[in-house]
A and B are shown apart, each in its own frame.
Chain A
C-alpha cells in the first residue's frame, strides 16, 4: 500500500512543480485536473484499503468535481475568452521552477520540524501537502491571468485537502461533503465571474483590475 500512497504523493508534488513551469493555460488546466484525480485516489488508499462505501463515495465525488467538472468549466471559460492562451507570468518560468524547488526544500525542512502526534499514512505526506499549498499560493501571486489564480486556488485547496486526508481520520461525511460543495460553488462562482470579466474587459488579466485603489502612482 505505502508504495501506492508514496507514488501518488510524488505525482502530486510533480504536478504542482509542473504547473509552475507550464506555459499554456489549457495545459495548466489539464495538470490541475490530473491532480484532482490523484487526490481522489489518495482518499481511497488513505483508508488503508478498507473498501467501505464512504471513501468510495468521497473519491468519486472528488474525481468527479476536481478531475472533470472544474476543468471542463474552466476550459469552457477559456474557450469563450478569445485571448491568447499564454500564462504570461509576472515571474518567469525558470525562476518559478527555481522557487518551486526551493519551496519543496522548505516544506521538507518544515515537515522535519513539525512534531506529529499521530503518524501520517506516509512520511512524504506532510511535505507534499505543504509544498502543494505553497505552490498554490505562489501561482496565485505570480500569475497574471485571473484563470490562473483560480487554478492556484484549486491547487492550494488540494494541498490542504491532502493534509486533511492523510492526517485527520474520522472527519464526518457531512463536513467533508460540505467542504467539497463549498469548493465547488466557489469555483463555479469564480468561473461565472471570469466569464463576466472576459465580457466586460475583453481580457482576463487580474493585474489590470486596478481601478479600485487609494493610491495613484
Chain B
C-alpha cells in the first residue's frame, strides 16, 4: 500500500521536477523517465504480492473537501490493473525518451513529461481510489493530462480537432459518472466505496449509467468516436499508454461497479449480460471492419482497440450471463477471459503502437501504402511487430489466444449446459468471436505484410532505419511478455482466481474449482504451443539438412514476364482489404475518388479512398449541428435595445406577481 502511494508521490514529484527543469532537455527527460521507471518498480512489488494472494491493504485519511476522504485500497482487482499500468508506463517512458528527441529543438518538452507522469499517477489513483470524490478527481485529472498529451503537436489542425473530440467525449462520459456515484452513495449517505448500497429498483439505471460513462472512456461503440482521432494524434508512446492501459480504466470502473451492484441485485438480471454481449459484438465487429478500411497505421491500431474492447466486453457479458443464470463456471470463465484479455491487450497493443511509432519515426509517414520492405531495414521492430500481430489476431501459441480461448470455453460451456435462451446469446458470442478473429487476422496480415514485407513503396520507406536501444528494448520486453503469457497460460489462470473472487463475490476456493476445467486444459495448450515451436525447429532443421549441398539461388520475384517490375506494382493495403471492404461497404460508407485512366496512352490515374467513422458523421455531427442551430436561433434575445431590456424586467415582474400572488 505505502509503496504504491510512494510510487504516486514519486510520479508527481518527478512530474513537477520535469516541468521545473524544462530548460534542459536532458534533465527534464531524465527526471521524468527516472521517476516513471522507479515508481513502476516500487509499485510492482505490492501489486504482484497481492495478486499472489496477500491480504487487501487499505488506508483511510481525512480529506477536507465535501464528501471527500483520502481512502485508498489495493485488492486483487486493483492490483490486476496496476500491473499493466506500471509495466507499460515504465516501458513507454523509456521509449519516449528517445522518441521525443526529434522535437527537442522545436519546443520545450517539460510539459509533455509533466503530463505523462501526471497521467500515470492519476491512473494509479483511479485504480486504488475507494472514495467517489477521490476517484472522480483522479479520473478527470487523467482525462486532462491525456488531453494535453494528445494535443502535444497542437500546431496541426487535425491534432487540435482530435484533442477537442476526445475532451468532449470524456467530459460527457464523466457527467454520467457523477450521477452514477452520487446515486450509489445517496442511499448509504457515504461516498466511500465500501459503504455503497444500491436500491434494487435503481440497479438497472445505475448499470446503464456505468455502461455509458465508463464505456465512453473504454471506447464501446458508438461512444468510441474519440479513439480513432486521439490515438493517431498523440505521440506514439502516449498512444501506447492510452490504448494499452488508460482505456482499460473504463473497464476497471465497469467491473468495479459490478461489484457494487452485485451486493444488492444478486443475481443480476439477464438483460445486463445480453446488453453487454451486444455492445461487445458491435464494438468488436465494427471495430475490426473499420480497422480493415484504414490506411493510416495508427488509426488502424486505434480501431483495433475498439475491437479488443469489444472482445473484453464479450467476456464480461458472458460472465454476467453466468451470474444471472446461476452458472458459476460460466461466470468465472467469462470474467477470466475478459480480464485476462485486458492484460494481454495492454501488452500487445502497447507493443504494436510502439512499433508503429518506430515506423513513423523511421519512415516519416504512417501511411501504410507508402511503406513496405521495412523488415530488412528494421529487423527488430519487424520481429516484435510480427509477434504483436500474431498475438492480437488471437493465434496460438501467444497470449491473445489464451484469453480468447477462455471466453470460448465459457461460451461453449454455456452452450452445452445452459437453457436455450442463454445458449442463443453465447452462440452469438462464439460466432462473433470467430468472425472477429478471422477479420483481425486479415487486418494484421495486411498491416504487417504491406508495411514490413515486399519492396518499399516510397523513398521514405527505403531510407528507414532501426531505432536506438531505448526504443527497441521496450518492444522486445513486451514481445517477450506476449510469448510468456502465451506459454504460461496455466499460471495466468491460477493468478486470476483472487481477482475473479473479487468480481463474482465467490470465495477463491470456489472460483478455483470453477476455473478448474480451464486449469486442466491449459497445460495441453502450453504443451501444444511448445510442441509447435519444437516442430518448427525440427522442420527448420530438416529443411536445412535437405538443402545442404543443394543450389539455393536468389532472383527477382517471378513477375509473369514483365520486364520492368516496379514496387508500385505491388498490392497495396487498400487493394488487399478491398474484397472485404466491398463486402461490408454498406456499413463502412467508404468514399472513393477515382481518376480513371483515359485515352489510348493514359497519363495519370489515381484512386483515393477514405473511410470516415460512420457514428461520428451520421450520428454526432448532425446532433451537434442541430443544437448549435437551435441555440443560434435564440440569440435575438440580446438585440441591444435598452427599452426592450427594461420591458423584460417589467414583464418578469408582472408575470411573477400574477403567477405567485394572482
Residues in chain A within 8 A of chain B (CB atoms):
90, 137, 140-143, 149, 206-207, 209-215, 217
Contact = CB atoms under 8 A, between A and B. Distances in A.
Contacts of B644: 141
Contact of B638 (A90, A140, A215): A215
A217 B636 CA distance: 8
B643 A213 contact: no
Given A137-B646, A141-B644, A215-B635, 15 more contacts: A90-B643, A140-B643, A141-B643, A141-B646, A142-B643, A149-B642, A209-B640, A210-B639, A210-B641, A213-B638, A213-B640, A214-B635, A215-B636, A215-B640, A217-B639
Contacts of B650: 137, 141
Pairs A-B, 4 closest by C-beta atoms: A213-B640, A210-B640, A214-B638, A215-B635
B641 to A, nearest CB: 6
A113 to B, nearest CB: 9
B640 A211 contact: yes
Contacts of B642: 149, 206-207, 209
B643 A206 contact: yes
Judged by DSSP, the binding face of B is: helix
B637 interface: yes
A143 B650 CA distance: 15
B635 A207 contact: no
B9 interface: no
Contacts of B635: 214-215
B542 interface: no
A138 to B, nearest CB: 8
Contact of B641 (A137, A143, A207, A214): A207
B643 A207 contact: yes
Contacts, number: 40
B637 to A, nearest CB: 7
A212 B639 CA distance: 8
B647 interface: yes
A217 B640 CA distance: 11
A134 to B, nearest CB: 8
Interface in B634-662: 635-644, 646-647, 650
A12 B646 CA distance: 23
Contacts of B641: 207, 210
Contacts of A212: 640
Nearest to B632: A215
Contacts of B636: 215, 217
Contacts of A90: 643
24 contacts: A137-B650, A140-B643, A140-B646, A141-B643, A141-B646, A141-B647, A141-B650, A143-B643, A149-B646, A206-B643, A209-B640, A209-B642, A210-B640, A210-B641, A212-B640, A213-B638, A213-B640, A214-B638, A215-B635, A215-B636, A215-B637, A215-B638, A215-B640, A217-B639
Interface in B217-275: none
Contacts of B640: 209-213, 215
A152 to B, nearest CB: 9
A141 B636 CA distance: 18
B454 to A, nearest CB: 59
Nearest to B653: A137
A213 B643 CA distance: 14
A140 B635 CA distance: 24
Nearest to A213: B640
A12 B647 CA distance: 23
Contacts of A141: 643-644, 646-647, 650
Contacts of A140: 643, 646
Contacts of A211: 640
Contacts of A143: 643
Contacts of A137: 646, 650
A34 to B, nearest CB: 24
A143 B646 CA distance: 12
B125 to A, nearest CB: 42
Interface in B615-640: 635-640
A192 B263 CA distance: 72
B642 to A, nearest CB: 5
B639 to A, nearest CB: 5
Nearest to A90: B643
Interface in B122-171: none
A213 to B, nearest CB: 3
A38 B467 CA distance: 94
A96 to B, nearest CB: 13
Nearest to B657: A110
B643 A215 contact: no
B605 to A, nearest CB: 48
Contacts of A149: 642-643, 646
A214 B650 CA distance: 22
Contacts of B639: 210, 213, 215, 217
Contacts of B637: 215
Contacts of A210: 639-641
A43 to B, nearest CB: 26
Nearest to A216: B635
A181 to B, nearest CB: 24
A206 B643 CA distance: 8
A37 B641 CA distance: 32
Contacts of A213: 638-640
Nearest to A210: B640
Contacts of A206: 642-643
A137 B650 CA distance: 7
Nearest to B637: A215
Nearest to B647: A141
Nearest to A140: B646
A149 B642 CA distance: 10
A1 to B, nearest CB: 32
A149 B647 CA distance: 12
Contacts of B638: 213-215
B371 to A, nearest CB: 50
Nearest to B642: A206
A215 B639 CA distance: 6
B143 to A, nearest CB: 31
B52 to A, nearest CB: 63
Contacts of A142: 643
A195 B168 CA distance: 49
